[in-house]
């Protein structure tokens, strides 16, 4: 498909925080925030979608949830969308050791940081979204506490652009990334090449239910609260007894329900990290 649908939504200031959570349900790969039109007080959100039915569903839900929203849409060439990223994509520092960069800024990695090179596409994971940054920061902290080691097996569930799996590989781990979206998997494979991780990161279409491998030493899942709750039994079955688990894509008000779903599978209380209205839940290795 050579065209995308660009949706622009202007929202007044009181609606902005709630709108970000709303957009995450329909456009998990992120969106652009632009200055409000002159004289207006609010934020202009710009989203790119290649699924017309999903876009129509979002616009209907938007009008119900935000009566004050002013929305417009137009078709754009996919190349124009890619070029637009270059105008606002800035390096993202995550934790103490990672920096996420596009290929055209790869040479600008700060000294002492591990660069993760991501080609922006319509797949989740450029580091700009709070949930991706939370997962990378959690990974950084686990590594800093000596809870991860080279050659540890990992599963990046809902891999999107592959950013979390790439971070694991760049720390010396070996593992698998799966996603139900073939476009995301294609983007993840492209990013594999950009980061030179080779065979240490296998990527494919699929979900936790279809995996042949029995256990992983680290599982990361940056999805949404609903699927995370449903998948809790399957995820915990795939986690080594001495493994670590990181979950995100969770709004603050959803964190307790997700926590209870995983504690019902025998896990203890998780560590909690927050950023804006988003939460990451971290289970370090269990003491036996």
Distance CA 55, CA 27 (A): 9
pLDDT score at 201: 96
CA dist 14 and 275 (Å) reads 19
Higher-confidence residue of 219 and 92: namely: 219
Domain 3-85 and domain 90-283, same fold? Reply is: no
pLDDT tens-digit map of 234-262: 999 999 989 999 999 888 889 999 999 99
Q: 90-283, which class in CATH? A: alpha beta
Average pLDDT over residues 102-125: 81
pLDDT of residue 57: 83
User: What are φ and ψ of residue 148, in 5° steps?
Assistant: -120, 155
Domain residue ranges in the chain? 3-85, 90-283
- How many other C-beta atoms lie within 10 A of the C-beta of residue 7? 22
Categorize the per-residue pLDDT at 232 as very low, low, confident or very high, splitting at 50, 70 and 90. very high
Q: In the structure, what pLDDT confidence band is assigned to residue 185 with cuts at 50, 70 and 90?
A: confident
Strands 201-205 and 174-179: parallel
What's the pLDDT at 21? Answer: 74
CA distances from 105 to 136, 179, 198, 205 (A): 19, 27, 22, 29
Band of pLDDT at residue 130, cut at 50, 70 and 90: confident
Q: Which pLDDT band, with edges at 50, 70 and 90, does 157 fall under?
A: very high
Q: What's the pLDDT score for residue 91? A: 80
The verdict on domain 3-85 having CATH code 3.40.980.10 is no
Query: pLDDT category, 77, cuts 50, 70, 90?
Result: low
DSSP output for 176-195: EEEES-HHHHHHHHHHHHHH
Query: What's the pLDDT score for residue 93?
Result: 85
Label residue 4 by pLDDT band (50, 70, 90). confident
Contact criterion met (CB below 8 Å) for 148 and 173 = yes
Of residues 229, 102, 230, 208, the one with CA closest to residue 158: 208
Predicted confidence at residue 95, as pLDDT, reads 85
The pLDDT assigned to 123 comes to 46
Higher-confidence residue of 65 and 83: namely 65
Output the pLDDT for position 213. Answer: 67
Q: Which of 25-39, 131-145, 148-162, 222-236 has the lowest mean pLDDT?
A: 25-39
Residue 266, pLDDT score: 94
pLDDT-derived band at 80, boundaries 50, 70, 90: low
């Amino acid at each position: 498909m050579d065209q995308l649908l660009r949706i622009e939504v202007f929202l007044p200031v009181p609606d902005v925080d709630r709108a970000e959570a709303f957009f995450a349900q329909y456009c998990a790969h992120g969106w652009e925030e632009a200055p409000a039109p002159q004289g207006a007080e609010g934020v202009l959100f710009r989203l790119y979608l290649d699924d017309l039915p999903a876009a129509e569903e979002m616009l209907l839900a938007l009008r119900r949830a935000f009566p004050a929203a002013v929305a417009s849409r137009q078709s754009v060439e996919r190349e124009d969308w890619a070029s637009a990223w270059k105008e606002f994509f800035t390096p993202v520092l995550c934790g103490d050791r990672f920096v996420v960069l596009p290929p055209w800024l790869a040479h600008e990695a700060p000294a002492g940081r591990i660069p993760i090179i991501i080609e922006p596409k319509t797949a989740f994971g450029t580091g700009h979204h709070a949930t991706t940054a939370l997962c990378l920061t959690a990974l950084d902290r686990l590594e800093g506490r000596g809870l991860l080691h080279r050659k540890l097996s990992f599963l990046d569930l809902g891999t999107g652009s592959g950013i979390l799996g790439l971070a694991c590989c760049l720390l010396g781990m070996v593992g698998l990334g799966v996603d139900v979206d073939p476009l995301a998997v294609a983007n993840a494979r492209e990013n594999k090449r950009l980061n030179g991780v080779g065979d240490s990161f296998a990527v494919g279409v699929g979900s936790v239910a279809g995996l042949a491998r029995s256990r992983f030493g680290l599982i990361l899942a940056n999805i949404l609260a609903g699927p995370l709750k449903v998948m809790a039994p399957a995820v915990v079955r795939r986690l080594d007894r001495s493994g670590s688990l990181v979950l995100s894509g969770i709004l603050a008000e959803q964190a307790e329900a997700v926590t209870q779903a995983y504690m019902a599978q025998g896990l203890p209380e998780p560590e909690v990290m927050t950023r804006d209205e988003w939460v990451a839940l971290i289970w370090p290795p269990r003491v036996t």
